[in-house]
């Protein structure tokens, strides 16, 4: 009985494990016309930096395309699988042909190859990676465990990245643009989207660290315990609602305490910068 050939179990080991072995009839890379290459509809990378493309284009004009792209042959030409930055930069450089390795891959494999190549080059922002992971799950029936196995990531990393898709759109954009980190985004994910929108300006304006952002979220979420001397009454629910709305509006811990002749509002702050921000918000001017 002939020995069975085992297929590589993980794509996280490198692109070589993703790409089927070459057939004898197609050794090495071929030079193919750039005009006949169609974009990969499953390209996980959505944003391309113009300055980086110009720099790569200048390098290609000087040295040529060092690493072949990966394409699949179609009836009308070729469909790109991996190497979109090289294709765009080669077109900017005025090239008419580009070296390419031609393979026939199934739809899921096309996405896997493009995803792993970008992850290995650290070319994807966290939201692009999250969308690609979700596409593998939704369209191809992958579990989180299988996504982790195929991309060489820990399952917890996959789960944490997927949670970014639940963030408010404004927070997602801040992660994409790099104004806050993935860690900031995960911290803000600890409160509902409408709270995230209120907290984001404080995180940006005060240049809070991830840990400080987590503390800010904790303070907003933390329920205010009742004072021992304060009796429970019918107005307690209204007071808690007012406290919550003040916490959201000011982005810090606020508590109300009733007394016989009225009461007091306690607004907490944890740094001089935060005091200045609260002053500006409350009185409309600089301290």
Nearest Cα neighbor of 32 from 84, 64, 70, 60 is: 70
Q: Determine which one of 6, 31, 52, 84 is catalytic.
A: 84
For residue 223, CA distances in Å to 202, 262, 265 come to: 21, 22, 16
Q: Is 277 helix (H, G, I), strand (E, B) or coil?
A: helix
For residue 109, CA distances in Å to 42, 52, 113, 140 come to: 10, 27, 6, 10
Cβ neighbourhood burial of 124 (10 Å; 0-12, 13-18, 19+): buried
Q: Per-residue DSSP letters for 204-252?
A: HHTT--HHHHHHHHHHHHSPPPPPTTS---TTHHHHHHHHHHHHHHHTS
Q: Which two tokens stand for residue 115?
A: 């995803």
Residue 84 bears catalytic tag: yes
Beta bridge partners of 265: 256
Active site residues: 84
């Amino acid at each position: 009985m002939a020995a069975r050939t085992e297929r590589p179990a993980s794509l996280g080991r490198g692109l070589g494990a993703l790409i089927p072995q070459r057939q004898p009839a197609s050794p090495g890379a071929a030079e193919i016309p750039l005009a006949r290459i169609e974009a990969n509809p499953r390209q996980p990378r959505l944003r391309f930096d113009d300055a980086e493309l110009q720099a790569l284009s200048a390098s290609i004009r000087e040295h040529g395309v060092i690493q072949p792209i990966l394409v699949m042959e179609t009836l009308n030409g070729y469909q790109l699988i991996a190497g979109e930055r090289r294709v765009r930069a080669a077109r900017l450089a005025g090239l008419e042909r580009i070296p390419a390795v031609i393979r026939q891959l199934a739809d899921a494999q096309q996405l896997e190859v493009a995803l792993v190549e970008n992850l290995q080059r650290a070319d994807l922002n966290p939201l692009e990676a999250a969308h690609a992971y979700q596409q593998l799950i939704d369209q191809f029936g992958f579990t989180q465990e299988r996504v982790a196995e195929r991309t060489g990531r820990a399952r917890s990393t996959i789960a944490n990245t997927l949670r970014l898709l639940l963030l408010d759109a404004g927070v997602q954009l801040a992660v994409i643009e790099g104004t806050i980190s993935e860690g900031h985004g995960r911290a803000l994910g600890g409160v509902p989207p409408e709270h995230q929108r209120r907290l984001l300006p404080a995180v940006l304006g005060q240049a809070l660290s991830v840990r400080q952002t987590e503390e800010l979220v904790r303070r907003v979420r933390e329920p205010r315990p009742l004072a021992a001397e304060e009796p429970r009454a019918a107005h307690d629910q209204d007071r808690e609602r007012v406290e919550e709305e003040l916490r959201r509006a000011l982005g810090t811990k606020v508590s109300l305490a009733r007394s016989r002749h009225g009461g007091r509002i306690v607004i907490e702050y944890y740094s001089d910068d935060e005091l200045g921000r609260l002053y500006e918000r409350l009185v409309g001017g600089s301290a």
